Structure formats: C-alpha cells, structure tokens
A and B are shown apart, each in its own frame.
Chain A
Amino acid sequence: MNTLYQAKKIITMNPARPHVTHVAVRDGMILGAGTLEELAGWGEYTLDERFVDKTIMPGFVEGHSHAMEGALWAFTYVGFFDRMDPNGKVWSGVKSIPEVIARLKTTEARLPIDAPLPGWSLDPIYYDNERVTREHLDQVSTTRPIGLLHASGHIINVNSKTLALAGLLRTGIDNPGIPLGEDGLPTAELKGPEVMALATVHVGFSQDFLSCDEVGLINFSKLCVRAGVTTATDLAARLPETIVSMMQDVTSRDDYPARIVPLIFHSGIAPKDLIARAIAIKPQSTDKLRLGKIKIVTDGSIQGFSARMRAPGYYNGAPNGLWYISPEHLHEILTACLKHDLQVHIHTNGDEATELLIDTMDKGLLKQPAPDHRFTIQHCQLADNAQLRRIAKLGLCVNFFANHHFYWGDEHYQLTVGPERALRMNACATALKLNIPIAIHSDAPVTPLGPLFTAWCAVNRLTASGRIQGEAERIAVSDALYAITLGAAYTLKLDGEVGSIETGKRADLAILEDDPETIGADKLNDVRVWGTMLGGKVFAANTL
C-alpha cells in the first residue's frame, strides 16, 4: 500500500519539477512527487494529511558534524548563545562570568558529593575576553573537580581542585599552554590538546567519553530530527570493532531516525593500516550506517592559532600553526585511496594547509587519474581565488564552514587574519562561480547542528556583533538550500540516493512549519522544523 502525503508546498530540489504538492512513498522509497492524480497511478494508496499546512524539503544532509555532540549534552551547557538540547529544551545562553558560576551552582546542587562537574561550550571572547580563572570556578566548589570545555574545543578552564589533582597547583610551571597569574600559579586555563589532557581525565571528560557511545549516538539522532537532518556525518571517528558493532546495532533499530556516515580519522593509525581498515569496514555498511570513508586533518584552527598559514601569516603576528600530518603521509594516503576507490575528506583551515593538499592531489591524480573522486576539503576557510581555481580543475569538492562568520567573524576581522582576508573567508560565491561543488556545515558541536541556520549564515554573512562580513561572498537562498541537500549529498557520494525528492530516491524528508523560500533571506534561521521522515518512517520532534 502506498502512502501519499499532501503538503502546502514540497520543494523537491529536482530542477525538472521544483515545486509540487504531493509525494508518494512505498517501502521507504519515493515513488514520485507531483499531483494527487499523477501519484494515484502508482496504485492503491492512503492519503496522509498531517502535513497539509507544512513545507517539505528533502531531508537535510549535514556533511560535517560529530556524533560527539550527543555525548556533550550530558554535561552542563555554558555557551553564550541559546542552544537546544536533544530533548527539545532550549538552554538560554550564559551572558557573563557570574552567570556561568550561577548555572554551575545549579547543576552542582544535584550532584553527588565530590563528583566532577564538566561543562562545555564556554567562550570568553563574548565576555570581552575577560579570562575565566580558577578563583571564579572555586566559587562554585573547592572540593569537586570542575572543568569547562571551550566552544573551540582547544581550551579547558578548571578550578583549583582539578589543578591540584593534575599536579599543577604549584609555582614554577613554564609551559606556553598554561598561563600564570600574578601569584605565579596557573590561572587554570589550559590550552592545547596535550595540556588539556592533564585535566580532562579528572573532570569526567575521558578520551573515550568524547567519542560516541550508545546514549550519545541516540541523543545525536534526536538533535538531527530537531534540525531536519536525515543524513549526518560523524566526521572523525575511531572505528574499532566494538564501536562499529555498537553503531550497527543502534542505527539498525526501526526507531533510529538518522543515517550516519562515520569517517575513520587518520590520527593514531599508520597509513597502510588506515587504508586496510577502510577497505575492511566498507562492506559492513548498512542503509543507516555508511562506512569506508577516511578523514585526514592537516592542521589546526584559525582562532586557536594552530592553522598553517602562508605568508604573511596571522594578522596579530602569532607564530605559524601546527602540521598534523607529514606531506609524505598525506601523499601516501591520498594516492592509495585514489587507487582503491576510497573517498577522503581532508580538513584544511589555513591557506598553507590548503596549498599542500592541492599540490598533493595534483601529483596524485597524475599518477592515478580518478575522474569522479570527489575528495572534499573540509573548512578550506582561507583559500584564495588562485587556489579555488586549482581546486576546481582538480575535481575537488569544498565543504565551507559558513557558521564561522557568525561565531568568530569579529575575532577573525580584528585578530587572526585581518579585515581583507576575513571578508573572503569561506568563499562560497566564488566557489559557485568556478563550478566547485560545495556544501556548508556546522561542525557540531563546535557550532550547533542546524542546516537552516548554516544556510542563513552563508546567505547573510552576519557576525555576532551584527556586521556583514564579505558581502561579495554571500550566496542566494536557493544556492544555500541546494548546499544543505544535494550539495552535501554529492560530497558524500549519496546524491543518487538522497538530497532531492524524486522517483527512486530514499523517502527522507525535512518537514517544516515555515517556507524557507518565502520567509525572507534574513529570517532563514527562524524556519521551524516539525520533524523528519527517514526511509518512509515519520519522526515528530515533539514526541521524541
């Protein structure tokens, strides 16, 4: 029996038929999108009128996210901006350091004695860069270890108890990642992954905790439904047997509302083992768990000053950042993947990292041509036009970090890269003119999962302080909507299955209360999500 759904408007993303009122679904597949009469031709049907006043789009595809956001919500949210948790509760943003302390005290009251108090998404740049110190956090508790992960993921703020447990509550420390106060003791800001690791274990953030467990994966899928997302990446996963089994088990459940695409992270595995692992797990893919892609991280982040920059480097004179892979290993992995038909996504933030990637792909493709490799540069925030032209010639895709302008746009303008480069960061418009296939992303949990907000960012390019940053790189609403559906699907080689509402594709839908095509470009982020359909099964956000 077919089910026909009627909507106020269905935006199909099919250029042959962009707007219809009905869609027919059978066994998780779309039979067609059109008028009631046309779809009746597929056979007996029931008409489902739940969505008669809704706008339907293809289920959104998030091409760069981390399932870890599901795990983080177990901790106390202390971000500056309002943010919705997996259960639909909107946590109000915390607007000052006293408010941070107040929120922590509320959580603290409910914890067992001396249990650690982890928090996440702290961002002191919004407190006029006043640093959070151990004295601040000691006001919450001096007996339980407290640790607040910054939004960027690069810094953690702790209290005196945590410092003591880590053996760091002493004078005489001389380490660039551990700033000291006037008393010669650490202020308790710990910067950079190695130094952070000294404290994270004491505050409830063990390495394993942050990669996804079952509860985290389920919570992540709830966030997907609330954001209208039906396919999402877990873009830097360690995928040992146990985790793969867990993910297969969880995603195969009928009520699991998302398709997850985990990529194996290169760090900590030798190149040949990485390739072997990808080849081995690819055949273990299921409909809702797509395995076999690889993720490489070449450098760090711009706001953390660990991105690799070409001359003239950082605007404020900070030294150049860090390489996380050698050119030799990058070459080895890319050429092996071209040969074995494994898709690779490569993080580059600084333009020097992008340059290395372009050079390496250039050489690799000469040895091993691959006309449809679709290797995707993730972030690619500082590519200039010359680099984008090379990227176009090499058949690379780019998934831009459009959300960055809102959260760190002012910081980039004033501090990290300076006005001129800030204006052209995440050059979506230029890329489109050059016919580079693009997508746009949140990198959840770095910024919240929400393709409509990401689209709003790419269309408006507004910073948190309300300035427009880079008018020339704004894109049209239609291009942004394409980027969060077919554009992202293309970067995952899933464009044949998802991303548009057409005959033969999976019945994955985003069901919206408002119409993104008519609400106004400046209000895209106000479009409300009712829920999703994944493979024909409906998930309402309010009954999760």
Chain B
Amino acid sequence: MTNLNTIPVTVIGGYLGSGKTTLVNHLLRNASGKRLAIMVNEFGELPIDEDLIEAEGDELISLTGGCVCCSFGSDLIEAMTKLAQLNPQPHHVILEASGVALPGSIASTLSLLSDFSIDGVVVLTDAETVRARANDKFMADTILRQLSDADIILLNKTDLVSAEQLIDTRNWLMSVANGAQVVNTRNAAVSPAIVLHDFAWSKESESQPLAEHRECFETHSLPMHEAVDPALFIESLLSAYPQLIRAKGFVKDLKDNLKTLQIVGKRATVSDAPQGVKTGLVVIQRLEPRTGPAEKTDE
C-alpha cells in the first residue's frame, strides 16, 4: 500500500555485469538535489564512483548532494529500520540486489515495513549475454525469475549487439517478461524519471529523453472527472497505453472515495488518497523511435 508518508524504494536486480552499478552511479549524478539512499549487500565491491564519495564510515558512506550509501550485510530489515531513522530522511531508496537474488522477494519483504513503499522493481539485462544466461546450466531459472519479478526491464549494453540481435533479444525478453516494460539502454543511461518516483512528476522530466539514444517518452494528462472502478480502469489504461512506463494521479471510485493510483511498469497500486486533492492522472509512455522499432545508434 503506497501512502504519502512512506519512503519509496526501487529494487534494482539483474545478474552480475548487467550494469546495476553503472545505473546507480548514473542516478547519483542526475539526482538533481534529491537525497538518494543506496543500499548494497556489502561495501567491498563498492558500486560508487570515487568522485561521488565524501566520507566513509563503517556502516554509512556519505555521498555528494546529501546522498548516502549503506550496506545491509545479512540483516536487511535492521539496515532499513536505521535508514528510516536518518535525519533528514532520504527521498528515495535504491536497493541494489545481489546478482543471484530475487528482487521480487526483496520487494515483497520490504513492502511489509511501514516506513517504506515499493516504487518498482527494475531489472537490468546485458543484451549480449542475457539469452545465454537464461540457458545457463545453473542460473537459468534464477534469471527467468528475476525477469518475471521486474516491473521495468532495462535492456542494457545495446551497443554491444547488432540491430537484428537487439530486436530478437527484445522480443524474447518481452515474451518472458510477464508484463514488464522493456527500455533499451546503453551504459544504463536511463532517465531518472523511469527509475525514481519523484522525478517522473517534475516539470523537467517532460522534455527529457528517456534514455541516451533514441528512446523517448511522452506524457499525457487525463482529468479523470468521471468516477471509475479503479481495477477495471487500470486494465483499460494498460490496453490504451501498451508502452506505459509510469502513471500517477487521483481518481474517484464508484463510492465517490478519492483514491491514489500508481503504476510502474506492470505494478499497479491503489490506495486511499489524501484529503482535498483534485482528480487527474499523468501517464508517461515510451514512444517507439520514429525511424523504426528498437534501433541502436549508428556510428
């Protein structure tokens, strides 16, 4: 249940080498003043670029811009509880799951903590290796479970494969993805609007490219004057906008109660809205690139 007093959490999953660390650093560099808290398994292979680090402690590393990085070792719940007590609180938590972890399980556990709400599960894949990994003697089912846990999948390292391979891989991903949206990326350089809750709704995001090369999104505003059945409405929304990345707003349900609607990829949550808000929904949709489906950069 999302409610306004909780800190949003994005769980980032994906196998080793898929670009999770690159994504984390990219988000830190584009945080625009938001306080991000990065949660990692252990500091040893610290996924933070040197120049972003301000001070290193045993349990917490201070980063530029008021961001922090914490390790949770084998006690995630304790680490999250301490995080919620930080003053000032982070705006958004990014949990980088280990390469063999199931991000969906982590999200499911964290959603039980009253201080936090799950914003989304983002899984990265290496365009060059993901199909082989999904056939790996030991890792196949883990990879497929990670993919089916995802709300948004970043098909990363698109520069390492040919245009045909990319299309093939993208199609295959969408067939195993269980409804997640797939966004092509290079160097995990995706717009923070995709991964982070607060960004999607600021004015700046409307004119940002979705990802570094070619991928774009458009925003639609729906006034939502009519009352709706939230569950049915979500279904029809996802049909109307098949490439929907995020949606957020307030609607009136059939009993005239105001409800908050949030959609990230395939994850939809409906909760009670705060008092006095006006109805209206904003939808962010991925656009197929104008020159054709999922192409990579020309050199």
Contacts and interface: CB of A to CB of B under 8 A. Distances in A.
Nearest to A353: B138
A270 B45 contact: yes
A167 interface: yes
Contacts of A193: 74
B99 A326 contact: yes
Interface stretch (B107-115, B237-245, B255-263): B107-115
Most buried by B among A177, A193, A323, A325: A323
Interface stretch (B36-44, B203-211, B219-227): B36-44
B26 to A, nearest CB: 22
Contact of B77 (A176, A178, A194, A326): A194
B52 interface: no
B139 interface: yes
A105 B84 CA distance: 36
A328 B45 CA distance: 13
A269 B102 contact: no
Given A207-B78, A267-B74, A328-B16, A322 B102 contact: yes
Interface string A321-362: 011111110000000000000000000000010011000000
A197 B43 CA distance: 22
A175 interface: yes
A268 interface: yes
B74 A201 contact: no
B109 A175 contact: yes
9 contacts: A172-B1, A175-B111, A178-B112, A194-B106, A197-B75, A268-B41, A323-B139, A327-B138, A327-B139
Contact of B138 (A167, A271, A352): A352
A52 interface: no
Interface of A: 166-168, 172-178, 193-195, 197-198, 201, 207, 267-273, 308, 320, 322-328, 352, 355-356
Contacts of B16: 326, 328
A289 B112 CA distance: 41
A174 B1 CA distance: 11
Given A268-B42, A323-B142, A328-B16, 17 more contacts: A167-B114, A173-B112, A175-B111, A194-B76, A194-B106, A197-B75, A197-B78, A198-B109, A201-B78, A207-B78, A268-B73, A270-B44, A271-B44, A308-B138, A320-B141, A326-B16, A356-B138
Contact of A270 (B43, B74, B76, B111): B43
B100 interface: yes
B142 to A, nearest CB: 6
B57 to A, nearest CB: 15
A176 to B, nearest CB: 7
A268 B98 CA distance: 10
Interface residues of B, number: 31
A194 B42 contact: no
A341 to B, nearest CB: 22
Interface of B: 1, 15-16, 41-45, 71, 73-78, 98-100, 102, 105-106, 108-109, 111-114, 138-139, 141-142
A272 B138 contact: no
A267 B142 CA distance: 19
Contacts of A174: 108
Given A194-B76, A197-B77, A323-B142, A269 B98 contact: no
Contacts of B15: 326
B128 to A, nearest CB: 16
Provide the main secondary structure of the chain B interface: loop
A273 B142 CA distance: 26
A194 B41 CA distance: 14
A271 B45 CA distance: 9
B33 to A, nearest CB: 31
Given A167-B112, A175-B108, A322-B102, A272 B77 contact: no
Nearest to A360: B138
A57 B50 CA distance: 58
A103 B73 CA distance: 35
A175 B112 contact: yes
A19 B108 CA distance: 61
Most buried by A among B41, B44, B111: B44
A193 B41 CA distance: 15
Instruction: Identify the 10 closest CB pairs spanning chains A and B, nearest first.
Output: A270-B44, A268-B73, A197-B77, A194-B109, A323-B100, A273-B44, A268-B74, A167-B114, A326-B100, A270-B45
B3 to A, nearest CB: 13
A174 B77 CA distance: 18
Contacts of A168: 112
Contacts of B106: 194
A269 B78 contact: no
B42 A269 contact: yes
Contacts of A175: 108-109, 111-112
B44 A194 contact: no
Given A194-B76, A197-B78, A201-B78, A269 B139 contact: no
A308 to B, nearest CB: 8
Most buried by A among B71, B112, B114, B142: B112
B234 to A, nearest CB: 17
Contacts of A195: 109, 112
B289 to A, nearest CB: 34
